C-alpha cells in the first residue's frame, strides 16, 4: 500500500517525466538538431540530470518516449479520421494539413524516427514499425482504396503515396537550412507554415484526384 | 617541370581519389547509413587508409568531395535543361525523373547534404548553399515562372515547390527501413524505382498543372 508521500511523489514523477520530454522537444526544435546533451535537457527542465536515467534509463530511452509522445496521439487521430463519415478527399485533405502541422510542432520528428530505426536494434526497429508505421500504412491503404472506389482518386499505390506525402510534408522542416542560407529566412513562422500547408495540399490533392 | 614518373603518379592520384569516392558511395548505399569508417572505405577501395588523409584531409573532406561528385554534374545538367527549347511541363517532368534516379544512385545524398550543412561551420554551409542550393533554387524559379507564363502551371511559390518535390523524390530512399519493416521489401530494385518515378511524376505534375 502506498503512503500519501509516495502518492505525491508519483504525481511529481509523472510531471517531471513530461517536463523532460517537453524540454528535449523544445531544445531539438530550437536548435534544429537531434544532438542535445542530457545535461542541457535536464537544465531546461529545471531538474537534476540523474532523473533522465531514473525515468528513461538513458538518452535512447528518452528519445523513444518522445517518439511515443509525439506520434502516439497522431496515430490514434489518424485511425479515427479513417473511420469518419466524410468523403475520402476531405479526409485526405484534413490528414495532409495535420501532417504539416505535426512537423511544424515537432520539426525533428521524421529525422528522429529515421535515426532511431537505423541506430537501434532490429528488435526496436520492428517494434516501432509495428506501433507507428504499420497503422499509418493501413490508414493510407484504407483512405486511398476508399477514394478510388468512390471515383474520387486515381488508382495509385498507397505504399508509394505514403512516401510522397510524408516527404513533401516534412522536407521544409528537415532542410530548414535551405530557407536560411538560400532565402535568408531564419524561422518558419505561422504565415510560412500556412503557405506550406496550402501549397502541399493543393499539389498533392490535385495530383491524387481522378481527372473528371 | 614534372618527370614522367611524377606525371604517372599524378594519373594514379586521380584514379585513387575516384576509387575512394566510389568506395564511400557504395558502402553508404549498401549499408544505408552515413556512418562508414575511413578504414573500411579504404579497404573497399583497396588502398591504404592513410591515402584518405592525403587526398581529402579527413573524413569531412571526403564527404564534401562526394557531395561535389554527386551533385556537381546534376546541377550543370539542370541549368542546361532550363535553357532548352522545350515546353515547361516537359522540362519539369524530365527533371523529376532525373531527381528520383539521382537518389536511386545515391540514396544517402539528401541525408549527407543535410548532415553536412548542420554539422560543418556556417562558412562551409554558406559555400554549399551557394554552389549547389542556390542554382537549384534559381532553376526552379525559372522553370515555374516560365510554366506559369505559358499558362501550363498553376501560380505556385517556387521556393515551396522545391521542398515538396525534393521531399517527395527522396523520402523512399531516406526512409528505406519502412519498406523493410512494414512491407518486407529489402531492396529498391529497378521495377520499384520505375514505379516510384511514375507515381511521383504523375502526382506532382498533375498537382502543378493549371486546370484547363
Q: Which residues of B touch A117 (CB under 8 A)?
A: 177, 181
With 80 as the cut, is the pLDDT of residue A201 above it? yes
CB contacts of A110 in chain B (<8 Å) are: 175
Kindly report, residue by residue over A84-102, the tens digit of the pLDDT: 999 999 999 999 999 999 9
Predicted local distance difference test score (pLDDT) of residue B195: 96
What pLDDT score was predicted for residue B67? Answer: 95
Query: Predicted confidence band at B100 (pLDDT cuts at 50, 70, 90)?
Result: very high
d(CA B157, CA B44): 44
Q: Which residue of A has its CA nearest to B110?
A: A175
What pLDDT does residue A11 have? 53
Closest CA to B144 of B91, B86, B85: B91
- Let me know the angle formed at the C-alpha of A191 by A189 and A196, rounded to the nearest 5 degrees: 95
Residue A6 pLDDT > 50: no
Does the structure show a pLDDT above 70 at A212? Answer: no
Q: Is the Cβ of A174 closer than 8 Å to some Cβ of chain B? A: yes
**CA distance, residue B67 to nearest chain A CA (Å):** 16
Query: With 80 as the cut, is the pLDDT of residue B14 above it?
Result: no
Say which of A32, A133, A206 has its CB closest to residue B181: A133
- Which pLDDT score is estimated for A12? 53
- Show me where the domains of chain B are located: 1-57, 62-208
* pLDDT value at residue A7: 46
Those residues whose C-beta lies under 8 Å from the C-beta of residue B83, and which sit 6 or more positions away, are none
Contact state of B167 with A162 under an 8 Å Cβ cutoff: no
Contact flag B154-A202 (C-beta cutoff 8 Å) = yes
Residues 6+ apart with CB under 8 A from A88: A143, A144, A146, A147, A150, A152, A153
Confidence class for position A1, pLDDT limits 50, 70, 90 = very low
What average pLDDT does the segment B22-35 reach? 93
Contact between chains at A164 and B200 (C-beta distance less than 8 A): yes
**Confidence band of B118 (pLDDT split at 50, 70, 90):** confident
**Residue B50 distance to chain A (closest CA, Å):** 28
By CA distance, what is A185's nearest residue in B? B159
Residue A24 C-alpha, separation from nearest chain B C-alpha, in angstroms = 18
For chain A, say whether B171 makes contact (Cβ under 8 Å): yes
Q: Which residues of A touch B169 (CB under 8 A)?
A: 167
Give the pLDDT of residue A25: 97
Rounded to the nearest integer, the mean pLDDT of chain B is 91
Closest-CA residue of B relative to A211 is: B206
CA of residue B78 relative to chain centroid, distance: 12
**Cα distance between the two ends of chain A:** 67
CB-nearest to A199 from B160, B177, B200 is B160
Closest residue in chain A to residue B122, using alpha carbons only: A181
**Among the listed residues A57, A60, A69, A61, the one whose alpha carbon sits nearest the alpha carbon of residue A25:** A69
Cell of A113: 524516427
Cβ distance A181 to B129 less than 8 Å, yes or no, reads: yes
Tens of pLDDT, residue by residue over A146-182, are 999 999 999 999 999 999 999 999 999 988 888 989 9
pLDDT, residue B147, reads: 98
Q: Compute the residue count for chain B.
A: 212
pLDDT confidence tier of residue B156, bands split at 50, 70 and 90: very high
Least confident of A3-7, A58-62, B9-13, B88-92: A3-7
Q: Are A183 and B192 in contact (CB under 8 A)?
A: no
Binning chain B into helix, strand and coil, the percentages to the nearest 5 are 80, 0, 20
Closest CA to B104 of B114, B96, B93, B94: B96
What are the tens digits of pLDDT across the range A111-152? 899 889 888 888 999 999 999 999 999 999 999 999 999 999
Distance from the Cα of B107 to chain A's closest Cα (Å) equals 14
The top-level CATH class assigned to B1-57 is mainly alpha
| Residues of chain A neighbouring B117 (CB-CB closer than 8 A) | 177, 181
Chain B 108-137, residues with CB within 8 Å of chain A CB atoms: 110, 113-114, 117-118, 125-126, 128-129, 133-134, 137
Assign domain B62-208 to its CATH superfamily: Tetracycline Repressor, domain 2 (1.10.357.10)
pLDDT value of position A176: 85
Of the candidates B168, B178, B205, the beta carbon closest to that of A133 is on B178
CB A167 within 8 A of CB B167: yes
Torsion of Cα atoms, A204 then A207 then A208 then A209, to 10°:
120
CATH superfamily of A63-208: Tetracycline Repressor, domain 2 (1.10.357.10)
Find, in chain B, the residue whose alpha carbon is nearest to that of A117.
B177
**pLDDT computed for residue A190 by the predictor:** 92
pLDDT at A13: 52
Residue B34 near chain A (CB below 8 Å): no
CB of B39 within 8 Å of a chain A CB? The answer is: no
Residue of A nearest to B194 (CA): A160
Tell me phi and psi for residue A37, to 5 degrees.
-65, 145
Amino acid at each position: 500500500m502506498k503512503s500519501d508521500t509516495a502518492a505525491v511523489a508519483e504525481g511529481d514523477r509523472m510531471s517531471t517525466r513530461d517536463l523532460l520530454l517537453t524540454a528535449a522537444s523544445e531544445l531539438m526544435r530550437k536548435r534544429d538538431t537531434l544532438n542535445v546533451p542530457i545535461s542541457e535537457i535536464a537544465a531546461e527542465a529545471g531538474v537534476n540530470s540523474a532523473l533522465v536515467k531514473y525515468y528513461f534509463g538513458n538518452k535512447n530511452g528518452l528519445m523513444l518516449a518522445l517518439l511515443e509522445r509525439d506520434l502516439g496521439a497522431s496515430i490514434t487521430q489518424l485511425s479515427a479520421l479513417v473511420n469518419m463519415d466524410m468523403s475520402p478527399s476531405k479526409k485526405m485533405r484534413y490528414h495532409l494539413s495535420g501532417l504539416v502541422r505535426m512537423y511544424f510542432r515537432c520539426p525533428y520528428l521524421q529525422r528522429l524516427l529515421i535515426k532511431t530505426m537505423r541506430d537501434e536494434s532490429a528488435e526496436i526497429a520492428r517494434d516501432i514499425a509495428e506501433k507507428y508505421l504499420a497503422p499509418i500504412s493501413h490508414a493510407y491503404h484504407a483512405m486511398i482504396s476508399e477514394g478510388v472506389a468512390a471515383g474520387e482518386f486515381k488508382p495509385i499505390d498507397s505504399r508509394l503515396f505514403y512516401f510522397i506525402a510524408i516527404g513533401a510534408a516534412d522536407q521544409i522542416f528537415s532542410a530548414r537550412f535551405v530557407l536560411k542560407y538560400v532565402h535568408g529566412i531564419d524561422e518558419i513562422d505561422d504565415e510560412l507554415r500556412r503557405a506550406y500547408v496550402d501549397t502541399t495540399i493543393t499539389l498533392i490533392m490535385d495530383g491524387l484526384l481522378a481527372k473528371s
